[in-house]
Amino acid sequence: MLRNIRYNALVLKVKAVGQSHREAWFLSAESGILHATVFGGPRSHLKGAVAPFHQGNLLLYYNPVKDYAKVTEFDVCTWRPGLREDYQRLMAAFALTETILSSYGSGGTWHEALNIAEATLDAYTEASEQLYRPLAVHFLWHWISLLGLNPSLEHCDRCGALLSAHALTFFVHGSLVCESCTHDGLALGAGARRWLHSIGQIPACSIARYSASPASISQAKNFVTVLLRESLGKRIQTWEII
Ligand SMILES: [Zn+2]
């Protein structure tokens, strides 16, 4: 077994253990979620480096006898201080890391998962307030698609009919259903559906160029947050209030 392994990793969460040690969770491109101990007193250089949303080159040492991993080096390439300049940005960033941890780092497509996470955090770092909600929808829609849990935006899940560009649809028990099949459930109008389709094709940094009415963005946000809640079996409250 290799005892020292390097990763390209994003810090998701850090928790204090006792006086001077901490536990950290990372998303890595190579192996998904990693959990390791960060040893060191207040003057350890790792203390400042291993903090949420920092990303860089991580070196872990594995002790197979004691069955633990410890952080021996973390060279930060991206610090993202802009996230801490605004409370809502910070809340969105924590909701993103909680979503990743709750879905076990996406369960296998880690390289892509890290790409989505870093692009979203980078976009939030500089985003103006009116982009906070569109960016949240963009992240959740891409994340749900990565998990393979996104319903088709083109066909009714119940009767299979093609959904026209102007069709009103309803989200019922994980399915997107046409107006002929139901009038119950969470409404997703044509504008919201077209916008979701568009933002599903673009990176987070381009979100400002894809506008929609506030009502459509709000419908799309309700749709993706309910979809995420049903997929994870867990509510991540920040996404509902952003
Ligand atoms: Zn139908």
Give me the pLDDT at residue 157, please: 95
Which residue from 240, 241, 239 is spatially nearest to 97, judged by alpha carbons?
239
Distance from residue 153's CA to the centre of ligand 1 (Å)? 12
Cα 182 to averaged position of ligand 1 atoms, centre (Å) = 7
Mean per-residue pLDDT of the chain? 94
Q: What is the pLDDT of residues 123-176, one digit of tens each?
A: 999 999 999 999 999 999 999 999 999 999 999 999 999 999 899 999 998 899
Residue-wise pLDDT tens digits, 17-57: 887 899 999 999 999 999 999 987 766 789 889 999 999 99
pTM of the model: 0.95
Domain CATH for 112: 1.20.1440.120
End-of-domain residue from the set 78, 108, 133: 78
Q: Name beta bridge partners: 28.
A: 9, 32
> How many Å from the N-terminal Cα to the C-terminal Cα in the chain?
45
- Give the model's pLDDT for residue 119: 98
Do 141 and 216 fall into the same domain? yes
151 and 210 both lie in a single domain: yes
Q: How far is the CA of 163 from the centre of ligand 1 (A)?
A: 8
What confidence tens digit (pLDDT) does each residue in 182-232 have?
A: 999 999 999 999 999 999 999 999 999 999 999 999 999 999 999 999 999
| Total number of domains constituting the chain | 2
For residue 30, what is the domain's CATH number?
2.40.50.140
Ligand 1 centre distance from Cα of residue 185 (Å): 13
Q: Which two tokens stand for residue 211?
A: 């506008």
Burial (Cβ within 10 Å: 0-12, 13-18, ≥19) of residue 93: buried
